[in-house]
Amino acid sequence: MRAVKAKVEGWRGWGRGRGKSGCCSFKRITVVACCVNLVAALVVLRSFDTSFFLFPSYGFNGNLFSVDQVERIEESIRVRREAESVELVRAVRKLSKELSREQKRGLNLPQNVKQKLANEILQRLQGDNVDTNVTKQRETVDLWRIEKLEEVRRVTTSKSNIDSSISYQEAKMLKRVLESNWLMLLEGIGLWIPADVIHTEHNDKPKDEQDLEEIIPGRPLPPECHAELHTDYDGAAVRWGLTHHKDSAADCCQACLDQAKHPKPGEKKCNIWVYCPSEFGCYSPDIYEHKHQECWLKQAEKPRLNFKDKYSKSYRKKHPNAPIVVPWMSGVVGA
């Protein structure tokens, strides 16, 4: 037993001595293996980085890029980079930063100063009684701004606030705001005045051209019809329009002319025609519903107007169903 233990201890001592003094210890082998792996990884990464230029490339459809195509791609990338206006982009960015910094610096007013300005403007508006007139509101606010700017400049120049309620530091901030950021200041204190809208109508229509709403369907009216738009003449009825319809105003006028030439025994001669050109019918204060294309033939020794152009306000007040514009058209014919 003692002999076996002595042999085992001998083997252990031999292993410890071998591990300490030998050139191939476990630590050294581990370090060498790690170095080899690191070198291999670097070689692989470098091969990936240069493979595009060293080896043929593949397109999106799986086909190989030729050397000429690769050169063109590289040339296009280079030209695109050179075409970038670097200086302009830098200048725009710099200007944007300066503007943003200026705006922040100009609008960085204390809350009590903003409240004071808002109260002064509101007092000026209420004092001038311009609450309902936008133009006068804008003029009043602009006048207040000019007066306030003069006061601020006086304080900043003299560095004294003897005759002013504004301190020197407040004056410096207000001067910058009133000169450059006036609209943003109004927005910041909650004051908004709508802009002026100037509407100008340009009448570039030829002199002889009729308005679309004044175009009468059908053949043109002859001069002897003496047609008058938006007109309703009074007179004794020769033919009732409720049962006498014509396709156009010209046909209605012609019916009046024909009837005057060949009247039946006991009939009056027509010298007034009244026509309804509206597809929606024409208004009349009687009990009947007057429809499109009604043609009234009338007679009067002294023709007298019922209505012309527009119904008056007093008439429309008494007759709520009456439109604004007279829908009828008429004409006086004959001697």
* CATH number (domain holding residue 231): 3.50.4.10
Residue 200 covered by a domain = no
Q: Are 152 and 171 in contact (CB under 8 A)?
A: yes
Say which residues have a Cβ less than 8 Å from residue 60's Cβ, sequence separation at least 6: none
Chunked in runs of 10, what are the mean pLDDT values of the chain (335 residues)? Answer: 47 46 68 83 68 46 69 84 74 76 60 79 72 74 83 75 65 74 71 65 59 70 91 93 93 93 90 93 91 94 91 91 93 82
Does one domain contain both 148 and 97?
no
Does one domain contain both 299 and 227?
yes
Does one domain contain both 130 and 164?
yes
Domain that holds residue 279: 223-332
Residue 5 covered by a domain = no
Residue 6 covered by a domain = no
Domain boundary among 167, 189, 211: 189
Residue 182 covered by a domain = yes
Does one domain contain both 247 and 283?
yes
Q: Return the pLDDT at 240.
A: 92
CA angle (15 as vertex; 11, 20 as ends), nearest 5? 150
Does one domain contain both 251 and 314?
yes
Radius of gyration of the chain (CA): 50
Domain boundary among 79, 103, 127: 103
How many distinct structural domains can be found in the chain?
3
Catalogue the E-assigned strands of 158-260.
227-228, 231-239
Residue 298 covered by a domain = yes
Does one domain contain both 231 and 283?
yes
Does one domain contain both 249 and 279?
yes
Residue 195 covered by a domain = no
Does one domain contain both 95 and 127?
no
pTM of the full structure: 0.40
Say which residues have a Cβ less than 8 Å from residue 290's Cβ, sequence separation at least 6: 241, 242, 276, 281, 282, 283, 284
Does one domain contain both 145 and 87?
no
Residue 55 covered by a domain = no
Q: Return the pLDDT at 295.
A: 96
Query: For residue 79, how far is the Cα from the chain centroid?
Result: 39
Judged on CB neighbours under 10 Å (0-12, 13-18, 19+), 99 is: exposed
Does one domain contain both 230 and 327?
yes
Residue 253 covered by a domain = yes
Does one domain contain both 98 and 118?
no
Domain boundary among 54, 84, 103: 103
Does one domain contain both 279 and 240?
yes
